[in-house]
Amino acid sequence: MKKFLCSLIAVVLAVPLVIGTFIYTDDARGSEKTITLIAANWTPTKMPPPIDWEPFDFVFNEWMDTIEYQTKGRVKFKRYPGETLVKVTDYWEAVKGGICDIGIVCLPMFPGQFPMTAALRLPGLFDNSIQGSVVRQMLFEEGYLAPEWKGVKFLWIGNNSPWDISCRKKQIRTLEDLKGLRVCTIQEPEISFLKALGAIPVAMPPTEFYFGLERGTVDAAWQDVNGQVAFKMYEKAPYITMIPGNSNGSMVTIMNQDKYDSLPPDIKAIFDKNTGLLGAIMSGKRFDYNVEKCVAFLNERKDYPPVYVLPPEERARWFKLGEPLIEKATAELEAKGLPARKMFKRARELVEMFRKRGF
């Protein structure tokens, strides 16, 4: 089974990322009544040219296009992008309660609700988005995360690129540059990591980062470079430092369980083959693909220095301060009867396996 999954991932990752990420085939038969599903997303719908697409919005829409195509129009989505139907903090209840049929949960907005899934946001676990997305999805399928997601249909998990930092007045190059700065972030475990680094974390939804920077209530933002560009934070915090291998967020695409259960068997089969591991691969691949384009866009600015990449020796100083957080989280989860130690061991095994295969 492991060999099969690895082979599958390797094959999919070898395919260039182009429009039409999911597999377009003619599957649905018959002329049954059209099923209309309400799908909501909270991320921005566009990024500046030549980037154009926000990664999660791109993958979400490509997935819906694929479902509509493969079902030959028997499934149609009524799409609500950019918080037009549901606020970022309300997606779990909105999907579970049927306000929308499908939505994207921004995991850090639900502190304490998904402790095992959240623990995988600790620093230094994953090198990039594809690793984080696929490992998390595999841990779900192996049963480590699944108990936390009862009550909804778990479609797939996607991983942001590693958190970076943008600052209003200076470029962050060392731990000393970070100390004492008010840094907006989402929730735990990012709050604890920033405290360990000597910063002053200020928790708020990612949709409010821009306004915090604009008002000067925070000095910097803890956000991946895709988010820096998607939410235009570079306008208010133009000094950007990338932190490869840093902690990163994750988004889970979920569906109302009753709505999924009500689908005809052949439609369910189309949903199933376009979610799970395939969805995780496409999300991670799109984020990694966008990083290079975002950096190129930011480096074209005339009045600010180029994006600074934290060198390995400095990064090691930061991550060393994060190591106790992993042990602390492990002990707390184990005390609740959750198999955190086994999960982290398995996550590291998978990451090492992926590294040996070049991704």
> 226 and 110 in one domain?
no
Instruction: Report, as an integer, the average pLDDT of 191-196.
Output: 93
Do residues 216 and 234 both lie within one domain?
yes
356 belongs to a structural domain: no
How far is 153 from 225, CA to CA, in rounded Å?
A: 30
Write the pLDDT tens digit of every residue in 304-342.
999 999 999 999 999 999 889 889 999 999 999 999 999
239 and 266 part of one domain: no
Give yes or no: residues 156 and 181 share one domain. Answer: no
pLDDT in tens, 111-158: 889 999 988 988 888 888 999 999 999 999 999 999 999 999 999 999
Residue 151, phi then psi, degrees to nearest 5: 105, -15
Domain assignment of residue 348, yes or no: no
Put the strands of the sheet holding 152-159 in their side by side order.
75-80, 35-40, 102-106, 250-256, 152-159
Q: Please answer whether residues 134 and 9 qualify as being in contact, where contact means their C-beta atoms are separated by less than 8 angstroms.
A: yes
Same domain assignment for residues 242 and 319: yes
| Per-residue model confidence as pLDDT tens digits over 63-99 | 999 999 999 999 999 999 989 999 989 999 999 999 9
Dist. CA 57–CA 81, nearest whole Å: 8
CATH number at residue 266: 3.40.190.170
- Return the bridge partners of 241, or none: 165, 308
* This prediction's pTM: 0.85
In a domain, 229, yes or no: yes
User: Is the domain of 139 the same as that of 284?
Assistant: yes
Q: How many folded domains does the chain comprise? A: 2
- pLDDT at residue 18 tops 80: no
DSSP 170: S
354 falls within a domain: no
The 10 Å Cβ neighbour count of residue 79 is 18
Cα angle 292-298-301, degrees, rounded to a multiple of 5: 145
Quick one: CA torsion of 13, 14, 20, 21, rounded to 10 degrees?
-10
Whether residue 143 is found in the same domain as residue 227: no
Q: Whole-angstrom Cα distance, residue 38 to residue 111?
A: 26
* Together in a domain, 210 and 83: no
Task: Tell me, yes or no, whether 147 lies in a domain.
Answer: yes
Residue 52: domain span: 2-161+249-291
Asked if 281 and 320 sit in the same domain, the reply is: no
Three-state DSSP at 303 gives coil
212: its two tokens = 């915090």
The phi-psi region of residue 20 (left if phi > 0; otherwise alpha if psi is between -120 and 50; otherwise beta) is: left
Are residues 304 and 216 both part of a single domain?
A: yes
Assess whether 20 and 139 both reside in one domain: yes
